[in-house]
Amino acid sequence: MRYASTRGQAPDLEFDDVLLAGLAADGGLYVPKTFPRLDTVPASTAPYQDFATATLKPFFGDSALAAELPELTKQAYARFDHAAVLPLLQLDHRTWLLELFHGPTLAFKDVALQLLGLLFDRALAKRQRRMTVVGATSGDTGSAAMEALRDRANVDVVVLYPHGRTSEVQRRQMTTIPSANVHAVAVEGTFDDCQDMVKALFADTAFRDRHGLSAVNSINWARIAAQSAYYVAACARLGWKPTAFSVPTGNFGNVYAAYVARAMGAPVAKLVVGTNSNDILTRFFHSGRMQSSGVVPTLSPSMDIQVSSNFERLLFELAGRDATRVRDTMAGFRSSGSFDVSPAELKQATDLFAAAAIDDEATIAEIRRTRAATGITIDPHSAIGLAASRRVQLDPDLPLVSLACAHPAKFPDAVERATGERPKLPAHLADLFDRPERITILPNDLNQVRSFVDRVALTKSSAA
C-alpha cells in the first residue's frame, strides 16, 4: 500500500513512513494511491477493537505493524470507560447518537490518538530513533496527544493552542500534565495561526529533519484511517444498510474519515457537515466558493476554524486526483483567500455532502431540546451535529447517526446556560481545577515558536 501527496511533489511512501512523516514534504497531505476495500466486516455485535483492526489493516500494506493490530487496538480501547467503547444510543425512530468521548481526555480525538501513541512507539523502536511532535489544537487534539504520548522517552510533544480561546477545562487538561516531555504553548492568535505555524515548521526541511518532526493532527493519514473505523462499526451495528451521518466539523478530518469509510465499501449514504458561525465549509457546499474570513469565538471553540486542512484531500478527489491542480489551487487560496470549484465538481460534492451553519443561540436551543426530548445532555459541538441534521433535506427513510464528539463537562458554561446544570467531570479529572498549571505564552510569531521547539529538544539532548 503506497501513499502519494495531494500536491504531487513529495516521494510516495509506505504506511510506516507516512505515520512518522505526518505532512508530505511538498506541504501536501498523504492519501492512499488507491482506496483499499474492506476485506472483512466484523459481526454487528463484535467488540469495537475488531472494527478498528478490520478497517485499519488494509491501510498497512506490507508493514510489520499490521500483525500487531489486534493486540494494539485491544490495548488502545481498554482505556475507554464504557463497555461498548463507543456507544450508539437511539434517540428516536431514525436517529442515533454515536458517543465518541469515553476515552481519557473526553473527546473523539482519543479514538485515534490512543492507538497512534502505540503505533508511534513500535515504529520508532524499529528504527531506533526519536521524534518531536508539533501539533495545533483548538482544544481537544492537544490534550489527547499529550495524554497518548506523555512520559515516552523517545518523543517530545509541543502543542500550540490559541491563547484564551479554549474552554478552561480544555486548557487545564493540557497545562496540568506534569510529564517533562509534553509542552502546551498558548499562542496569541487563532487556531488557524497555530495550524499555519505547524505547517511552516514542516516546510522548513532542516528543522524538520533536525527534530524528526511528526504530526498528531488529522494531516497525519493514520489519524484519518483510525477514525474511519467508527463509521464502519456504526454501519455494521445498524444492519449494514445505507446510513446518513451528521458530523460537527472544523478541520474536516472527522467527516473526511466517513468519506474514506465509504470509499472502502461502507454504506455511507449522506454526510451532513455541521459548522458553527465559522461557516466557511457550509458556504462552500452552498456555493462552490471557498472564501476565508476571520475566525469568531463561539460556544463550540474546538470548531473555531476557517482553514480546514483535510478539505485538501476532498479537493484532490473532486479534481480527479490532479495534484498539479490541487497545488495551484492551494497556492491561490494562500495568496487570495479564496478559490472556486466547477459546477460539475460542486454537484459531485453535494451528491454526498450537505451542510448547515448553526449559531450559538441555535446551539443552546439544541442542547435544551435534546435534553427535554431524550434526557441526554450533549456538548455544544454534538449539538451542532444534531441541529445541522434537521436543517438539511435528508431522505426520511435513511437512518441517521449524529456524532457526539466531546463530553459535556468539557464545556460546562455553555451546557449550564442551556440546561441550568453544570455537568461534572468524571472521577479521574475531578480535581482538575486544583492541579498546578504550566503555561508558556508566545506571540503569534513563527521564529519564537521555532526557538521554543529548539530549546525543548536541546534540553532533552543535554539531559541525555
Ligand X SMILES: N[C@@H](CCOP(=O)(O)O)C(=O)O
Give residues with Cβ within 8 angstroms of 452, minimum separation 6: 158, 183, 185, 440, 442
Question: What's the Cα-to-Cα distance from 378 to each of 17, 19, 300, 370, rounded to whole Å?
Answer: 38, 33, 12, 8
d(CA 183, CA 376): 35
Contact window for ligand X (CB under 6 A) among 135-143, 198-206, 344-352, 420-428: 135-143
Q: Is residue 140 a contact residue for ligand X (CB under 6 A)?
A: yes
d(CA 173, CA 179): 12
d(CA 183, CA 174): 8
Q: Is residue 102 a contact residue for ligand PLP (CB under 6 A)?
A: no
Q: Among 5, 302, 382, 419, which residue sits at the site for ligand X (rule: CB under 6 A)?
A: 302
For ligand PLP, the closer of residues 264 and 378 by Cβ is 378
Q: Among 114, 249, 251, 275, which residue sits at the site for ligand X (rule: CB under 6 A)?
A: 251
How many secondary structure helices (H) and strands (E) does the chain include? 18, 16
User: At its nearest, how many Å lie between ligand PLP and the CB of residue 64?
Assistant: 29
Where b means 16+ CB within 10 Å and e means fewer, 166-201 reads: bbebbbbbbbbbeeebbbbbbbebbbbbbbbbbbeb
For ligand X, the closer of residues 142 and 212 by Cβ is 142
- For the segment 139-158, give every residue that binds ligand PLP (CB under 6 A): 140
d(CA 118, CA 307): 29
Q: Among 63, 114, 218, 363, which residue sits at the site for ligand X (rule: CB under 6 A)?
A: 218
What x-and-dash track marks residues 233-272 binding ligand PLP by CB under 6 A?
Answer: ---------------xxxxxxx------------------
3-state secondary structure of 149: helix
Catalytic residue positions, numbered: 109
Write out the DSSP string of 309-346.
TTHHHHHHHHTTT-HHHHHHHHHHHHHHSEEE--HHHH
Out of ligand PLP, ligand X, none, what residue 137 binds, judged by CB under 5 to 8 A for its kind, is ligand X
**Alpha helices (H) along 238-275:** 253-263
Give residues with Cβ within 8 angstroms of 328, minimum separation 6: none
Element (H, E) at 72: helix 69-77
Contact window for ligand X (CB under 6 A) among 81-89, 140-148, 172-180, 326-334: 140-148
What x-and-dash track marks residues 268-307 binding ligand PLP by CB under 6 A?
Answer: ----------------------------------xx----
For ligand PLP, the closer of residues 302 and 363 by Cβ is 302
Q: Kindly state the cell numbers that stand for 204.
A: 522548513
d(CA 46, CA 440): 44
User: At its nearest, how many Å lie between ligand PLP and the CB of residue 11?
Assistant: 27
Q: Is residue 419 a contact residue for ligand X (CB under 6 A)?
A: no
Q: Is residue 423 a contact residue for ligand PLP (CB under 6 A)?
A: no
User: At its nearest, how many Å lie between ligand X and the CB of residue 2?
Assistant: 23
Query: How many chain residues are in contact with ligand X, going by CB under 6 A?
Result: 13
User: At its nearest, how many Å lie between ligand PLP and the CB of residue 82?
Assistant: 17
User: At its nearest, how many Å lie between ligand PLP and the CB of residue 2?
Assistant: 25
Counting every residue, how long is the chain?
A: 464
For ligand PLP, the closer of residues 16 and 245 by Cβ is 245
Kindly list the residues in this chain that would bind ligand PLP in the complex (CB under 6 A): 107, 140, 218, 248-254, 302-303, 381, 405-406
Binding site for ligand X (CB under 6 A): 137-142, 217-218, 250-251, 253, 302, 309
